[in-house]
Structure 1
């Protein structure tokens, strides 16, 4: 018996099921549930799963992108356990465990369209620079009522009318954390049980909106694994309290959106932070990484903002990136250098929405930083002590269709993500956009009927 599974069963003898879980393109968890008596098969022979499962859109539809799904006969790949990820699931009835999986093709090679495999390739390319990357994610989310209203709109758990803004916004208010202390404690306990390094929790700029930070780790793929598993832990814990957690970028039009921020620093082989410089603005190496990230924003925007609702988040003067700016201790810029001990000097990439796939976000950020470092790209002047989020940059595609087209035409994306994946990703998103536009909403009836 696999040692991880054996240890799990010794610690939790009342387990009934083990879930083999795989994040898809949208970060949704797919997989299969095995009775505990058959769970050994997950580790010995793997789990058969159609390769197209990682190419489903947000509605679970297969659009046969690049001939994957229907045209190729929908072949199976094999899910293989990622070592060290077998864990008890401490929510629900407590009788289930899970193990995070990766997808292989029939010949044993990594599936070329699986997001984690995409990230792994770019991590390998980045590592050729000879630096040790140190990465952490931050996630913002709302807690909402379990059931929507009669029109399908989400209902806040704290505000009866989401359009009533009077007194509803109390950012960093500890009373808000106390109000949801049971839920937040549950999340922390789940993360501890699953070795997810969750740390600081804050109440955000809107009612029942929170942010949970993950500690930095020196394994980029592990950092993205943590992000995926944190999302799952948050949702499972919310369900135990009769609520829902949503990572939708803009669930309430009048409130702030949900972002996914990623922190990056680089070290040498002795553990010295290579982003440290003579001033708080960091080293030349850091500037080059920032330069690459800023230059490639338009090309990568469809990765950072993968769906229609994603683009509702990008509004001027809302501390959301809408241009190519950077600076020290300034939340209005796109790439922020946080204040603090220079030994912890790092950059914070603030573009991605909480709905984005963390593996693809990681891939895009490392690709941009690699490009900037290898080409020694100048990021321009830093923005200090002034609001930089008031004006949008026309080069950034702030409409979904434009972003998809920009990604599809990008030679940078092709060089790092490979043409097959870019074609497949864009074909899927274009089909999803078409289905979105084909849907006749209640609002459209109100306007035109």
Structure 2
């Protein structure tokens, strides 16, 4: 073992000597956090030798089933890969009653190269190409919406809003930016922020959103896209863990309530050159040519990217007209109805806000697809066309695949994202999601009984 990992382990145990166990975790294709729990006595060995994990863990469906995508799983005997800790991600688990630690893992193939179908490694390849080919580094911030829900389910397993700690009654408030809602759930929200701070995850503003029990907590900009996506994974785990502590649950499901707002995952991205200059700013507070080209690339790759930005069958229920959710290829300054919003800001703060992804999307794959689009646009000097005006979300864009299978077909037939994310990975992703959709569609729903049981 080298001195650096030894020091990280030694310093952590010196600060938290009562730690009993460590969770070794990673996010799979669906963004689900998976891993194992080890006794703390194994911590030095984990950092020194790594761990064996089935490589097919990165191709599981959302329910945890082995999809055997590309013959990886049942067909090839399910071989292991080497999982190693990611430096500087060893932290305590503040919401746990048991003194726990956790550390993020990344995986290698037998030849020592990064496992090509680990989502984090997919992002790493795209980010490296952006830097080596264009000399640019992305600075990224995630904004995530989520619902706090009651642990008890309603009719047919539907979620219910939680009981308000302030009134003792089930929350019915829909006051966007309402401070009463933030105050009512303030203890939970503050605990989430403090838990994130303890893990080095930088959070910012907290706001109540458009539905009962719905909130948004912003993550601050990070100058390393991998670290930003890591923070997103850790944030979602913290939100869910803290919610359980208060006898609630948290969900990042894109559309948990048919009649209420969905959960989005908005990404704010700036691009900096080797001299630390934000190339999206024109030096006078406006958008540069590079910014326009990046917008053009994001719009050009959006049809293929939908399979990553909206990965689940439920994801597409979030897209509806006139609810501040984009449904067209569009861009504009200070307009929340467009797919690509240019917020106020100049200099280092000049950025694009991508508003299409759902909160259920994998942060690594989503960011990889977006950085690929920006690279493509800058490299080929694409024109985004004129900005939208007014409400750009009144009707669906016929050029966007707004159904899950159509999105997979568009990704499979496309060429742009294959060049960036890798043909082999795109094929594996499509196969894994197709297997998931087939499994989902095989189930008979209550509505099928209501409609068809006595129809004949």
TM-score, normalised relative to structure 1: 0.96
Give the aligned partner of residue 391 of structure 1: 395
Q: Secondary structure at the match of 2:440?
A: helix
TM-score, normalised relative to structure 2: 0.94
Cα distance between partner residues in 2 of 1:198 and 1:411: 36
Give the aligned partner of residue 350 of structure 1: 355
Cα distance between partner residues in 2 of 1:400 and 1:28: 19
Q: CA deviation at 1:340?
A: 3.5
Residue number among 186, 194, 217 corresponding to 1:189 in the alignment: 194
Q: CA deviation at 1:107?
A: 2.0
Q: How does 1:136-151 map to 2 (within 5 A)?
A: 136-151=141-156
Residue number among 215, 229, 238 corresponding to 1:224 in the alignment: 229
Cα distance between partner residues in 2 of 1:327 and 1:443: 41
Q: Secondary structure at the match of 1:151?
A: helix
Give the aligned partner of residue 272 of structure 1: 277
Q: How does 1:196-215 map to 2 (within 5 A)?
A: 196-215=201-220
Does 2:80 correspond to 1:54? no
Give the aligned partner of residue 301 of structure 2: 296
Cα distance between partner residues in 1 of 2:286 and 2:383: 13
Residue number among 432, 436, 439 corresponding to 1:435 in the alignment: 439
Partner deviation per Cα, 1:247-295 (whole Å, 9 max, x = no partner): 0000000011001111111223332222113776511110000000011
Give unpaired runs (5+ residues) of structure 1: 160-165
Does 2:124 correspond to 1:95? no
Residue number among 128, 131, 136 corresponding to 1:127 in the alignment: 131
Say which is worse superposed, 262-271 or 191-200, in terms of deviation: 262-271
Q: Secondary structure at the match of 1:2?
A: helix
Does 2:346 correspond to 1:379? no
Contact 2:142 2:268 (8 Å CA) reproduced: yes
Partner deviation per Cα, 1:180-227 (whole Å, 9 max, x = no partner): 110011011111110001111111111111111111111110010011
Give the aligned partner of residue 445 of structure 1: 449
Give the aligned partner of residue 253 of structure 1: 258
Q: How does 1:58-97 map to 2 (within 5 A)?
A: 58-97=62-101
Q: CA deviation at 1:394?
A: 0.4
Contact 2:309 2:358 (8 Å CA) reproduced: yes
Q: CA deviation at 1:330?
A: 0.4
Give unpaired runs (5+ residues) of structure 2: 165-170
Contact 1:280 1:328 (8 Å CA) reproduced: no
Say which is worse superposed, 365-374 or 104-113, in terms of deviation: 104-113
Q: How does 1:291-370 map to 2 (within 5 A)?
A: 291-370=296-375
Partner deviation per Cα, 1:23-66 (whole Å, 9 max, x = no partner): 11111111111111122211111111000001100111112101
Residue number among 23, 29, 34 corresponding to 1:30 in the alignment: 34
Does 2:122 correspond to 1:118? yes
Contact 2:127 2:225 (8 Å CA) reproduced: yes
Contact 2:286 2:346 (8 Å CA) reproduced: no
Q: Secondary structure at the match of 1:433?
A: helix
Give the aligned partner of residue 163 of structure 1: none
Contact 1:158 1:207 (8 Å CA) reproduced: no
Cα distance between partner residues in 1 of 2:30 and 2:439: 16
- Runs of 4+ residues deviating >6 angstroms: none
Q: CA deviation at 1:94?
A: 4.1
Contact 1:79 1:103 (8 Å CA) reproduced: yes
Q: Secondary structure at the match of 1:229?
A: helix
Give the aligned partner of residue 177 of structure 2: 172
Does 2:428 correspond to 1:424? yes
Give the aligned partner of residue 168 of structure 2: none
Does 2:17 correspond to 1:13? yes
Partner deviation per Cα, 1:273-324 (whole Å, 9 max, x = no partner): 2211377651111000000001111011101010100000011111111111
Q: Secondary structure at the match of 2:107?
A: strand
